[in-house]
Amino acid sequence: MNLANVLEQAKVASDPQSLLQCFPYAQALGISASWDNEKLVAHLAFDQHIIGDLGAAALQGGAISTLLESTAVLSLLWSVEKIQMPQFMNHSVEYLASGRPKPTHAQAEIVRHGHQIANVRTIAWQGDRSAPIAAAHTHVLLVPESK
Amino acid sequence: MEAKYQLIRTFFDEDIPFNKLVGMKVTVLGEGHAAIRVPFKPELIGDQRRPALHGGVLSALIDAAGGAAAFTRVNLPGDTLSTLDMRVDYLRPAKLQTVIAEGHVSRMGNRVASVDIHCYHEGEPERHLATGKAVYNVRRSSTDKPTLQ
Task: Say yes or no for a CB contact (<8 Å) between A62 and B85.
Answer: no
Task: Check if B49 contacts A (Cβ < 8 Å).
Answer: yes
Query: Which among A23, A50, A61 has the least Cβ separation from residue B46?
Result: A23
> In sequence order, what are the beta bridge partners of A93?
A136, B86
Whether the pLDDT of residue A2 is over 50: the answer is: yes
The shortest C-alpha distance from B139 to chain A (Å) reads 13
Q: State whether residue A8 is helix, strand or coil.
A: helix
Q: Interior CA angle at B133 toward B4 and A99, to 5°?
A: 75
Beta carbon pairs, A and B, within 8 Å: 133
Beta strands A104-113; A39-44: pairing state: antiparallel
Q: Return the pLDDT at B144.
A: 58
Separation CA B49–CA B102 (nearest Å): 28
Task: Say yes or no for a CB contact (<8 Å) between B56 and A22.
Answer: no
Contact status, residue A26 vs residue A66, Cβ threshold 8 Å: yes
Choices 1.20.1250.20, 3.10.129.10, 1.10.150.120, 3.40.50.720: CATH for A3-144: 3.10.129.10
Crossing angle of helices A61-79 and A3-13, in 10° steps, is: 80
Interface test with A, best of B19, B86, B133, B139 (most A CBs within 10 A): B86
Locate the chain A residue with the closest alpha carbon to B19.
A52
Domain ranges of chain A: 3-144
Element (H, E) at B132: strand B128-139
Q: Is A115 exposed, middle or buried (0-12, 13-18, 19+ CB in 10 A)?
A: exposed
Q: Which of residues 46-105 of A touch B (CB under 8 A)?
A: 48-56, 58-63, 65-66, 69-70, 85, 87-95, 98
Residue A86 CA, distance from chain mean position: 12
Class assignment of domain B2-139? alpha beta
- A94-131 per-position pLDDT tens digit: 999 999 999 999 999 999 988 888 999 999 999 999 99
Q: Return the pLDDT at A147.
A: 47
- A64-86 per-position pLDDT tens digit: 999 999 999 999 999 887 767 78
Contact status, residue A69 vs residue B64, Cβ threshold 8 Å: no
Separation CA A42–CA A92 (nearest Å): 18
Task: Say yes or no for a CB contact (<8 Å) between A89 and B61.
Answer: no
Number of alpha helices (DSSP H) and beta strands (DSSP E) in chain A: 3, 8
- B33-63 per-position pLDDT tens digit: 999 999 999 999 998 888 999 999 999 999 9
Query: Which among B50, B53, B59 has the least Cβ separation from residue A91?
Result: B59
A94 contacts on B by Cβ (under 8 Å): 84-85
Structure letter (DSSP) for residue A114: -
A63-77, A132-146, B118-132: lowest mean pLDDT where?
A: A132-146
Whether the pLDDT of residue B118 is over 50: the answer is: yes
Task: Say yes or no for a CB contact (<8 Å) between B54 and A24.
Answer: yes
Task: Check if A144 contacts B (Cβ < 8 Å).
Answer: no
B88 contacts on A by Cβ (under 8 Å): 65, 88, 90-93
